[in-house]
Structure 1
Amino acid sequence: MHLSRLAPNLISPDVLRDLADLQQVHRRVMEGFGDAEGPGRLAHGVLWRWDADPGRPPVLYVQSETPPDWSRLPAGYLAEQARTRDLSEIRDILHAGRRFSFRLVASATRSIPSERISATDRPRGKRVPIGDPEGQLQWLDQQGERHGFLIEKSGSGRADIRVNTLPRGSGRRAKGQVTVTPVRFEGRLAITDPDAFWAAFTTGIGRAKAYGCGLLTLARP
């Protein structure tokens, strides 16, 4: 596994265009793997996200199974040289009970019933963003149960975590418009199932993984 940190040049026309279109960012990221047009995200194990902390310019993080080649990006796209580190050693330190600080940008959604077109039509749920912080925390707890981790609680019994709904993003693809309302979670977690956790770490958590969601990054607590 590899994690790249890309600092975009904010006066580059290519960067400004990408910041306004999630589909275009997806294509741009895939250029680093020689696969800008093909359905190659899964083949290369790619996840990405924008990090924009207050008072700092945005940074693009890209995780991948395939080593990237960022020299394929347009001239002047980056403000500084890309930095890529090997994450392979992380698998060896994932043990039950191990604690980490984490950041996750995810598409927290729920399913609501949709109207039937006819009496014989099978009803399908419609995915909608979860807008309230309590519901977002419940969503994250459910992801933890599924993916082998537990969100740590404070002394009051509440989740020791910061939750921020980020600005909605959109993009245009062949099938039509895509819209994502990402949520950023920051806090501490404890691993309960190392194998399930590693699978989530490498493949992402939640939906909209091609559009800047699902990437989980870890640090020492």
Structure 2
Amino acid sequence: MRLHRIHLNPRCREARRDLADAYQMHATLCRAFFPPETPCPAGSLLWRLEPETDAEGRPRVLIQSRATPDWSRIPVSAWLARAEPGIDLVQKLALDTIKPGQVFRFRLRANPCKMVQGKRQGLVHPDAQREWLVRKGEQHGFALPESDTPDYFDAMQRPDGLAYRDVRVSHEQMLRGTQHGGHAIRVYSVLFEGRLAVTDAVQFRKVLATGIGHGKVMGLGLLSIVPATDQPWTTANLGKTAL
């Protein structure tokens, strides 16, 4: 399982098309990771358009996959401005040794939603969005530990989102895409950032590989993590977020 970071050329027409159409972005990425005669298997890659650009103002995309990319398969050479070397996540994050109580900082763009009369409805209130993430954590082996460190809370206070002691919810966005045949797709999304604590190592490793929630083709569900510096945490902290 490797993580790739690429930077797109905003002057390229095809790159701008993909940046505006998440479904087409996924289709373009699949070309790099799988040969033309091989359909992109469901769940074979996770990706996310980052809210930041690089120093030159070029959009940044993260892609996670077990397959190795061949960027020359993308038909428009100007589409890709730069590709960084892939990172072996199993080695970099020591995934085989993760244990309960371990704390990570995380980022996740996802579709917090509920079912209403058989249809998914986006959750727009920040409290409901955070509670959705707590429930997902219960399913996937992690919890959102409350922080008692004022400095950390202050660092989470930013003008583009609502900060809690454990997570910041920001960058609300309606993602749009167009499937083959012209069928339009619209998926509500938000960006979650903060800290999480592992509660079940097996389930947590699984969700790192498979992602969280719906809309993965639209660039949702990729849970990216880095070790937190304020280790260690005890399992006693995990009960603070129980609903």
Structure 2 counterpart of 1:96, one-letter code: P
TM-score, length basis structure 2: 0.79
Q: Which residue of 2 aligns with 1:185?
A: 192
- Distance between the aligned counterparts of 2:66 and 2:16, measured in 1? 28
Tell me, yes or no, if structure 1 residue 98 matches structure 2 residue 97.
no
TM-score of the two chains, using structure 1 as the length reference? 0.87
**Match of residue 68 from structure 1:** 69
Question: In 2 relative to 1, CA 178–213 (structure 1 residues): closer, same or farther, beyond 3 Å?
Answer: same
Matching of residues 15-164 of structure 1 within 5 Å? 15-35=15-35, 39-42=39-42, 45-53=44-52, 57-73=58-74, 74-89=76-91, 90=93, 91-113=95-117, 125-155=118-148, 159-164=165-170
Secondary structure of 1:182's counterpart equals strand
Alpha carbons 1:27, 1:36 under 8 Å: kept:
no
- Is the contact made by 1:106 and 1:184 (CA closer than 8 Å) also made in structure 2? yes
Could you say if the C-alpha distance between residues 207 and 2 of structure 1 is closer, same or farther in structure 2, counting changes exceeding 3 Å? same
Instruction: Report deviation, 1:159.
Output: 4.1
Answer yes or no: is 1:170 the counterpart of 2:170.
no
Q: Residue 215 of structure 2: which of 180, 205, 208 is its match?
A: 208
Identity, in percent, stands at: 35
- Number of positions where the alignment pairs a residue of Structure 1 with one of Structure 2: 209
Distance 2:15 2:63 in 1: 16
The amino acid across from 2:26 in the alignment is H
Report the structure, 1 or 2, having the larger helix content: 2
User: 2:8 matched to 1:8?
Assistant: yes
Distance 1:32 1:54, change over 3 A: closer
Gaps of 5+ in 2: 151-163, 229-243
Segments of structure 1 that go 5 or more residues without pairing to the other structure are 114-124
